[in-house]
C-alpha cells in the first residue's frame, strides 16, 4: 500500500445503512477537546441515510485534540493550519478510496475548530468536498487567489451570544465563501457557542432540501 493510501488519522467510519439510497458521506469534524466519537449521533440525526467518516484531530492543546495549532483563542498558526489542511484532505481522499465512497458527495459537518478546518479545506482543497455545514465557524485564512467554489453549497450556523465567535466574523466568512462562488445559507441562532436542537433540525432540513438525490 502506498503512502498516499494510508489512513493516517484515528477515525470512526460508519457505512450507510443497508438499503439506503443516499450516496453522501458526512465528514464529521469535532471541536477542541472532542474526538472521533463526538459527532456520530449528530451526523446520524442530520442525515440518517449517509455514511459517516469521523477523524480525530492530531494536534493536542493541553491534552485536547484539535485539527490545527493556534497561538491564542482565535489566533491561528497559519503554516500549521495549511499543512494540517493538506494532511486532512489527503486522508479524506485515501478514506474515500479505502471505503469506496463517492468523492463527489462528501459533505463536511464541522463544529467550532472542526468547522474552521472544514472551511480551510474548502478554500485550499475544494476538490475534496462538495458541500459543508459549518457550526460556529470563523475565517480560517484568506487564500490568494480565491478558489472557484461555484458548485458548493454551504450552511453556516452561528450563535448571537457566542462569546468565542463574534457574528461579524461569521459574516466575513459568509462573504468570503460567496465571493468564491459558493451558495451560502446563514442561520443566526438565539444561542451561545453550544449547538441547539433547532439548529440540528435546520441542518437536517437543509441537507434534505439542497442535496437530496432524486
Burial class (CB in 10 A: 0-12, 13-18, 19+), 167: middle
Element of type H or E holding 14: strand 11-14
Q: Write down the catalytic residue from 38, 47, 90, 162.
A: 162
Is 112 an annotated catalytic residue? yes
CB of 162 to ligand MLT, least distance (A): 10
Minimum CB distance to ligand MLT smaller for 44 or for 70: 70
Partner residues linked to 11 by β-bridges? 55
Nearer to ligand MLT, 92 or 118 (CB): 118
Q: Which of 54, 112, 120, 180 is catalytic?
A: 112
- Cα separation, 143 vs 159, whole angstroms: 26
| Backbone phi and psi for residue 156, each to the nearest 5 degrees, phi listed first | -115, 130
Closer residue to ligand MLT in complex, CB, 100/163: 163
Least separation in angstroms between residue 179's CB and ligand MLT is 22
- Nearest distance, CB of residue 33 and ligand MLT, angstroms: 8
Using the minimum distance from each CB to ligand MLT, give the nearer residue, 48 or 74: 74
Distance CA 134, CA 194 (A): 13
Binding site residues, ligand MLT, CB under 6 A: 31-32, 70, 73-74, 112-113, 116, 138, 164
CB of 70 to ligand MLT, least distance (A): 5
Q: Give the separation between CA 146 and CA 162, rounded to whole angstroms.
A: 28
Taking the C-alpha atoms of residue 114 and residue 27, their distance in angstroms, rounded to an integer, is 10
Q: How far is the CB of 206 from ligand MLT (least distance, A)?
A: 22
Q: Maximum CA pair distance of the chain?
A: 49
- Name the residue with the smallest CB distance to ligand MLT: 113
120 annotated active-site: no
CB neighbours of residue 71 within 10 Å? 10
To the query of whether residue 193 is one of the catalytic residues in this protein, the response is yes
Residue 54, burial from CB neighbour count under 10 angstroms (0-12, 13-18, 19+): buried
Q: In this complex, which beta carbon is closest to ligand MLT, that of residue 113 or of residue 153?
A: 113
Positions marked active-site: 112, 162, 193
Amino acid at each position: 500500500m502506498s503512502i498516499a493510501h494510508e489512513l493516517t488519522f484515528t477515525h470512526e467510519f460508519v457505512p450507510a445503512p443497508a438499503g439506503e439510497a443516499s450516496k453522501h458521506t458526512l465528514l464529521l469534524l469535532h471541536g477542541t477537546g472532542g474526538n472521533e466519537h463526538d459527532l456520530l449521533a449528530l451526523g446520524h440525526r442530520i442525515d440518517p441515510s449517509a455514511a459517516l467518516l469521523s477523524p480525530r484531530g492530531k494536534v493536542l492543546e493541553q491534552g485536547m485534540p484539535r485539527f490545527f495549532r493556534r497561538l491564542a483563542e482565535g489566533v491561528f498558526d497559519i503554516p500549521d493550519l495549511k499543512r494540517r489542511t493538506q494532511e486532512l484532505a489527503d486522508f479524506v481522499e485515501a478514506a474515500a478510496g479505502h471505503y469506496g465512497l463517492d468523492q463527489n458527495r462528501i459533505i463536511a459537518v464541522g463544529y467550532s475548530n472542526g468547522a474552521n478546518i472544514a472551511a480551510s479545506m474548502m478554500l485550499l482543497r475544494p476538490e475534496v468536498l462538495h458541500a459543508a455545514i459549518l457550526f460556529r465557524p470563523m475565517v480560517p485564512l484568506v487564500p490568494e487567489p480565491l478558489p472557484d467554489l461555484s458548485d458548493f453549497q454551504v450552511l453556516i450556523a452561528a450563535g448571537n451570544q457566542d462569546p468565542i465567535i463574534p457574528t461579524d466574523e461569521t459574516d466575513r466568512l459568509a462573504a468570503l465563501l460567496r465571493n468564491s462562488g459558493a451558495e451560502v445559507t446563514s442561520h443566526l441562532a438565539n444561542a451561545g457557542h453550544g449547538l441547539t436542537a433547532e439548529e440540528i433540525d435546520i441542518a437536517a432540513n437543509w441537507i434534505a432540501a439542497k442535496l437530496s438525490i432524486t
